[in-house]
Every structure is written in structure tokens, then in C-alpha cells.
Structure 1
Amino acid sequence: MVLKSAIELDIIEIIFTATSEGGCACISVISPAKIAARIPSKNPDASVLLDRMLRLLASYDILKCSTCIKENGEVERAYSEGPTCKFLVKLKVHGFKELVDVGDGIGVAINIISSKHPHIQGTNYDLPHVIADAPNDERCFITLITHTRASEPLTYYKAFYVLGVEHVGGSDERCLKLLKNCWEALPRDGKVIIVESILPVAPENIASSHIVFEQDLLMLARNPGG
């Protein structure tokens, strides 16, 4: 709940930006009072309330906390970005205005991306029966894959987004063919963006482990050779 509130209030974004401006996040910190001044709050105790939230996040290594003794003897805490903050702040998308999502189903991912970054024109690239009921979005095109086109090079685009297609794409050769087609369709400064899970070395009883191991068993059940 505290982390959710910190993200919704842009507190993580404020800390990440402030402690990175100097080019050396390891020594740059920001106090709760300065954070409170940057959020739309009229509560006179906002800095105290923020400090209580931030010290909890620091105890989980989401933030880093440093302390100093003020002239009156009080301890003052200041905060900087932790190792996981980069996953909690807004991503800056640059370098392309068109994005093709290969195998996105009804287009959930590409619609989310284009809604967050309106300058991007999205294309959902999938089989006809998969996208038959896909919702219409003025920012996204729908492109059908026929059985003959599936093995042909893709249209010339600047960026391709591939999310977990390897899990349901069949053999390794078929997956490599898909990625190669994406690569061959790119201009010199284009990008193939692959979003994929990484299996942990040792299993843990946490949600992220459950998800990736279930995906691994899905591959074992559906794909030749697992």
C-alpha cells in the first residue's frame, strides 16, 4: 500500500529525478521536506508523513536512506534511489514513432503502450482468428498474418515488440525465424524489443517464481522438445 501510494503521488519519480540530476546518485539525496514541496499537498505535516512512508521503503531497499544530526540534536533523514527504483519510474521512449507488436493477441499490450506514449503509432500483428474480436483504437492498426505470410519477411518498420512469443511459438527454429524476420525488416537504427522472463536458479515461494515456472511448464506441454 505504501509503495502504491508513493508511485501514485510521483514520490519515487521525484526522488529518482532529483538524485540523478547531479550525475552521481550515490551522493545525491533529497529530504522529505523538499519532496513534500513538490507534491500537491496542503497538509503542514506532509514532510513528517512522507518520512514515515519513505523509511519503510528504505527498510526493504527500495530506497536508500542517510542520516545527519541537526544543530538542535534532531536526526534528519534524506533519501535517494534504490536499485529497484529504475523499474518503478516512467520510461522514456525515444528513437521511433512506429511499433509493431508481434503476436499480441487482441492488442492489450500495444494499446497500453500507445495510450501512454501517444506519439507512437502501434500495429498489432497476429492471426485473423486471434484478432477477430480485437477492440478498435485510433492509435493502433491491425495487421493479419496469413499462413503464407507467417514465414515471409515483415513489412519495413523501425521497432518490433515481442512479448513471450517463444512460449507458444512452436520449435526453436520457428521462434528464430520469427525474430529473424523482425530483424530483417528493421532499418539501420531500428530495434527489436524482446520482453521475456528469466528463470531463477533456485525456486522461491514468491509470485514471480510461480509465474516463470508455470510458463516453463507451458512450453514443456505445448512445444516440441519442451
Structure 2
Amino acid sequence: MAFLKESNPRNLDNDQREEKSFSCAMQLSTSIVLPMVLHSAFELGVFDILSKAGPGAKLSPSQIVAQMPTKNPDAAMMLDRILKLLVSHSMLGCTMVADEEFGSFQRLYSLTPVSEYFMTNEDGVSLGPYTALAQDQVFIKSWFSILHDWSDEYCLKLLKNCYNAIPNDGKVIVVEAVIPTIPDISTPMKSTYQLDMLMMTHYPGGKERTQEEIMALATMAGFSGIKFECSVCDLWVMEFFK
């Protein structure tokens, strides 16, 4: 009977869906690990080491560790485990090559279009510090004058002050994430929903808002309308008109 059950395509589809759903649930329940590992890789200089090796460079964990100030004999093994997680999120590339000395295989890691944002560019800038900021206690305890950090009540006071401060033909530029009314499964929205969770847990009343919620705040503050000018890097540039 078990064989007959397993051979039923419908049952197989159900089992596969259930397994996929469980895997997704497990990933979400441990999702805090990814930013911690990403931060560690940045602090260890992994992205810069790969970048300095040249375009298209592929390095083994041992080659990467050789450029780090560590004497830990297990460093290469530990780094290999870290990098495998980043590969699974397309943050690094991985190539398997034969290791003739030991008669086995080894993994060589390389940059991807995503990881390039975490290496230091010619201006000395990367997303690494931003990743560190999101986990830093100073960030958690700090307050910033931007809308998504604040409750609707405080945002209304802030926008009213802006309204009163600008001339009759003036406008206020707001740069914020905008979430859809119906949950979206796209990669950009996953990032925005995660930001929403940061706002909820770190700032009383803080949240990402829908277009309708932003329009309501603007109207209550006295603005005649909003123009959603453009979207850049998952953020909307909005013009609030008096």
C-alpha cells in the first residue's frame, strides 16, 4: 500500500509541496542567521579580498584565510561553512575543482553582482556598514527624523511643521519604502517587509506604509496631493504639494 501511495502523482505533488513549505518555514525561523553571517563575512574582509584578487578571481577558503590576521587552524574550515551559506543566497559564486594533492575536490569562491555591493568601491563605500548598523545597539536605541521611524500621530506633527515652513508653491520631498496593500512575494518587497519588522520592534509606532496610508497622512497635514516621482533601490521619491 505504501508503494501505491508513493507512486500516485497527486500524492507526490502534495508531499513535494509540503516539503517545500516546511523548508521555507525553517528558513524563515532561522533567518536571523543570514545578516549575522553576512556581517561576519564583511568584517573578515572576504568581499574585499576577492575583489583585490582581480576580475573573475576564484579563491579557496585557505587562500582567503591566508590574507586574514588569524592563526586559528580551523579558520579555513569555518570560513568555508560561512561562504556556503552566502552562496545559497547568490551572494557568492562557487566552483568545484579537483585537488590533485589530496585526491579530492575543493570549493573556489567568487564575487557575484550582489556581493559587489559589499566590497569597498573606489569611493570607500559599501553596504557593509549598513548591515552592521542594522544589528548595532546604537541603531536600536537611536531616533532619526524620517517618517517610517514614527507613529502616525508623530508623523502628522512632523508633516504639519513642514507644511507650515514652506511657501505656498513649495513642496516636501519624502524618500520612503512603500508597501503594497496586498502582500507581494517579490525580492524587493521581502526586503521592505523586513524593514517593517525592524520598525515595529525598534521604534514605538514605526512602520512602513502603503500609498493609501501615506496619502492619508499628507491630506491630514494639509497637503493638496502627492506625486510618486520614481522608485530607486526599493525606495520611492515622493513630492508632497502644498
Q: TM-score range by the shorter chain?
A: 0.3 to 0.5
TM-score by length of 2: 0.45
Structure having the larger proportion of residues in helix: 2
Larger radius of gyration: 2
TM-score by length of 1: 0.47
